[in-house]
Amino acid sequence: MKNVDYAEIGARIRTARLMQKLTQEEASERCDITTSYYGNIERGDKKMSVETLIKVAKGLNISTDELLFGDAADEWTEADEFLKEVQRTVDQEYFTKYLAVMKAIASIIHKL
């Protein structure tokens, strides 16, 4: 069995945070852990309990599977590239409307 690579998990956590344009302080608040501990987790300096892993996953709206195994990394990149392409090809007003629709859909999905 392969050892747990906490640096790799921390890198995935950092990527998820940056994709959401959050500071470490904002992310740690969402995850209900201290900023110092959160930073240690991102760097892979500290091990975390299953409870903390779940807090981080919930706080960043990412599955524990994605944090542990990185299965959705390509999907995050694809989504990011798609949004960048939309932003490059439309004016700011259209892009703002586009984001509003996406947020409304996300809100509906979270209620399901």
84-101, pLDDT tens digit by residue? 888 899 999 999 998 899
Q: Where are the domains of the chain?
A: 6-69, 73-111
pLDDT band at 2 (very low <50, low <70, confident <90, very high): low
Least confident of 16-30, 44-58, 64-78: 64-78
Bigger pLDDT: 55 or 75? 55
Q: How far apart are CA 110 and CA 87, in angstroms?
A: 25
Q: How far apart are CA 49 and CA 15, in angstroms?
A: 20
Bigger pLDDT: 99 or 74? 99
- Which H helix or E strand runs over 69? helix 64-69
Q: How far apart are CA 12 and CA 15, in angstroms?
A: 5
Res 78: pLDDT: 77
In this prediction the pTM is: 0.62
Report the CATH superfamily, name and number, of domain 6-69.
lambda repressor-like DNA-binding domains (1.10.260.40)
**Are 70 and 76 within 8 A, CB to CB?**
no
Res 84: pLDDT: 85
**Are 48 and 71 within 8 A, CB to CB?**
no
